[in-house]
């Protein structure tokens, strides 16, 4: 058998996300991508159900995004943002201010979603520091959340069920309420907010901000909850003088059926984090938006200097592609696309509820989740190759098999994805039932 030199070197020397180099997992080499398809080195084409971790909402190799990148790179690929500015950053900031809720008027650019969360936390703590309330340095959040892999972000991820419990002793100690159970406003019960209400009442004097993923908790468990919970949280933050940070890195730009998930609760955050789909998946870029209250508050000590400045902040190439991606989204029929994906996911995933291994099926916008009763066996080296043999790319984790496809996906391709989930369940049934 011919040895793939790239895969051999990769297995020996490259560390992949959430993986071991002493016991590397199965890796497949991608040589090109177009639309919703990835082409592997062995010639096979697979349908991407993950949107490259939820970012490639327009699909791969889009001609408009390609052209935007080509035009910008001939002008400049990068210039420092300290003391300088440029048209792509100004254009992108204008678009973000225009498309988000009106109180969000200020934009801080950063390199990744995790860093946008770090900046949001800094904003909140520095806001209170400038007010002379240096005791307000903790955050309040809910369990099952995920906000990133850097240290500030890790500290507000679920400390028990999250991915970072080995770092517990070196992380700041924040406050965690139980995650809401209610998924629809019609089923709202006050018990869902009771623990959160008690924590903010008891600790508001030391809490700088609440941080939440609105309506959809992503990598912490792919959980959905109802808009009423967000309304209740906003009211309690106002009542107890606590800032509200919403992390829309995964939910922003239409994924849940509205441009931003907070719109479904008709609330406004003090600070908003966005990333992932911002550039249509072309390159890394994120932003933290805030209100005038925050900027004026940080400036209350006479300086107003936010102590953060990434080297590649507001990278012109990324900003230019992000501008084109936003235009492409707003000019498209994305609402109908997401609604169509949602209806098809409901229809095609619902029958799997009868499978003995399945605990729950849930769908929101262009997100479909099959939750199993138990975590997938750690000894599943066969699973990635088996998934690819079905002609798709899906990346299960823990007890979840989920898809978040590009908005442009055709119905037949989406059926291939949902059918592949059925094939995986059948294979698991043969193995474990």
Q: Which residues on adjacent β-strands are paired with residue 138?
A: 207
Q: Which residues on adjacent β-strands are paired with residue 40?
A: 30
Is 60 a known active-site residue? no
Number of Cβ within 10 Å of residue 268's Cβ equals 17
Among 48, 247, 270, 413, the one annotated catalytic: 247
Number of Cβ within 10 Å of residue 149's Cβ equals 17
Question: Which backbone phi and psi does 41 adopt, to 5 degrees?
Answer: -65, -30
Task: Give CA 354 to chain center in angstroms.
Answer: 30
* 157 contacts: CB under 8 Å, gap ≥ 6: 145, 146, 147, 148, 163, 164, 220
Using CA atoms, how far apart are residues 108 and 163, in angstroms rounded to an integer?
A: 27
Is 276 a known active-site residue? yes
And the tokens for 102? 């009106």
Among 60, 146, 262, 402, the one annotated catalytic: 146
Is 386 a known active-site residue? no
Catalytic residues: 18, 146, 247, 276
């Amino acid at each position: 058998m011919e040895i793939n030199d790239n895969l051999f070197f990769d297995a020996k020397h490259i560390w992949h996300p959430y993986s071991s180099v002493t016991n590397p997992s199965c890796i497949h080499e991608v040589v090109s991508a177009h639309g919703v398809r990835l082409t592997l080195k062995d010639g096979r084409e697979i349908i991407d159900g993950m949107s490259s971790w939820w970012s490639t909402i327009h699909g791969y190799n889009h001609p408009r995004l390609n052209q935007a990148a080509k035009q910008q790179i001939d002008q400049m690929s990068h210039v420092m943002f300290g003391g300088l500015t440029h048209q792509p950053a100004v254009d992108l900031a204008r678009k973000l201010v225009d498309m988000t809720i009106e109180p969000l008027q200020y934009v801080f650019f950063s390199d990744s979603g995790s860093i946008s969360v770090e900046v949001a936390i800094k904003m909140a703590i520095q806001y209170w520091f400038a007010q002379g309330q240096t005791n307000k340095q903790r955050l309040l959040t809910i369990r099952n959340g995920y906000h990133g892999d850097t240290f500030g972000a890790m500290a507000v991820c679920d400390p028990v069920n999250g991915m970072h419990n080995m770092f517990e002793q070196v992380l700041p100690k924040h406050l965690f309420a139980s995650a809401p159970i209610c998924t629809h406003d019609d089923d709202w019960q006050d018990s869902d907010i009771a623990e959160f209400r008690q924590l903010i009442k008891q600790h508001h004097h030391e809490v700088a901000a609440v941080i939440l993923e609105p309506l959809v908790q992503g990598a912490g468990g792919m959980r959905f909850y109802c808009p009423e919970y967000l309304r209740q949280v906003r009211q309690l933050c106002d009542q107890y003088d606590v800032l509200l940070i919403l992390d829309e890195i995964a939910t922003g730009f239409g994924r849940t059926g509205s441009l931003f998930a907070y719109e479904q609760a008709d609330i406004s955050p003090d600070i908003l984090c966005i990333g992932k789909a911002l550039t249509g998946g072309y390159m890394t870029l994120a932003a933290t938006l805030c209100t005038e209250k925050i900027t004026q508050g940080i400036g209350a000590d006479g300086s107003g200097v936010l102590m953060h400045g990434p080297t590649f902040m507001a990278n012109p190439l990324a900003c230019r592609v992000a501008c084109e991606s936003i235009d492409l989204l707003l000019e498209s029929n994305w609402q109908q696309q997401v609604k169509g994906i949602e209806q098809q996911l409901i229809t095609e995933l619902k029958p799997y509820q009868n499978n003995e291994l399945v605990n729950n099926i849930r769908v929101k916008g262009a997100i479909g989740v099959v939750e199993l009763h138990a975590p997938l066996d750690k000894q599943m080296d066969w699973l990635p190759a088996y998934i690819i043999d079905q002609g798709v790319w899906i990346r299960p984790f823990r007890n979840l098999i989920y898809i978040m496809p590009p908005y442009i996906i055709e119905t037949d391709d989406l059926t291939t994805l949902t059918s592949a989930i059925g094939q995986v369940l059948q294979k698991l049934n043969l193995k474990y039932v």
